[in-house]
Amino acid sequence: MDFINQTGWTDFVPVVDDDAARFLQLILQIKRPKNILEIGTSIGFSAVTMALTARQYGGNITTIEFDKTAAEHADMNFKRSGVDDIIPIELGDARQIVPGFSGNSFDLIFQDVSKRLYPVLLKDCIRILKAGGVFMTDDALFPVMELDPKYHDQVEPICEFNRLVAASKDLESTLLPIGDGIMVAVKKQQ
Ligand SMILES: C[S@@+](CC[C@H](N)C(=O)[O-])C[C@H]1O[C@@H](n2cnc3c(N)ncnc32)[C@H](O)[C@@H]1O
């Protein structure tokens, strides 16, 4: 997406890459999820990416970030992109916020937060996702990539998460080699 290069956002923090951004927009176009949850806003690149598609059909995105400075940048980017009216930011720790959502609240969840939280948040992500809802997680292929050593401690939690998702009786899932790997799952109809 030219957007990344135009804004220079990637110069300053890790955000989803072009292919992952395009894939998010494609899934939104296919599925048209009304209530979207993003866990891990950063400066709002993936949220804006999704919002540009979601606003076409009346969707909205709740996004969670605990870093106040990042959230302020995100808010600025939402306003600049004209999507602030459909992206409420929840400022706080996902470990506290996610368990507080009611069951079956979201049509799509995109998780791109601290990798150590992936296995920790999984049960709640399944609980708050509607049946038939889509669950996507970025960086799922870290375990098979050549990574900068600073990311090595993120490999084990992602391995654990991938195993838990594959074994879940509530999810149909697959791992796609898009960007740094996207785990895509659908919550089964009970
Ligand atoms: C990889 S970045 C998100 C990038 C964003 N999805 C994008 O592509 O534009 C991960 C973000 O999660 C935030 N984060 C990490 N742990 C968190 C937690 N426990 N609660 C809320 N946010 C957290 C970090 O501050 C960081 O901004």
Please, which pLDDT band fits residue 19 given cuts at 50, 70 and 90?
A: very high
3-state secondary structure of 1: coil
When pLDDT is averaged across residues 4-18 and rounded to a whole number, the result is: 64
Q: What is the pairing mode between strands 89-91 and 60-65?
A: parallel
What separation in Å is there between the alpha carbon of 65 and the centre of ligand 1? 6
| Residues above pLDDT 70, as percent of the chain | 94
| Ordered structural domains, the chain, with CATH | 2-187 (3.40.50.150)
Q: Is the CB of 15 under 6 A from ligand 1?
A: yes
Q: Give the residue whose CA is nearest to atom 25 of ligand 1.
A: 67
| Ligand 1 atom closest to residue 9's alpha carbon, by position in its atom list | 9
Closest C-alpha among 162, 160, 96, 114 to residue 135: 162
Whole-model pTM: value is 0.94
Question: Which residue's CA is the nearest one to ligand 1's atom 9?
Answer: 45
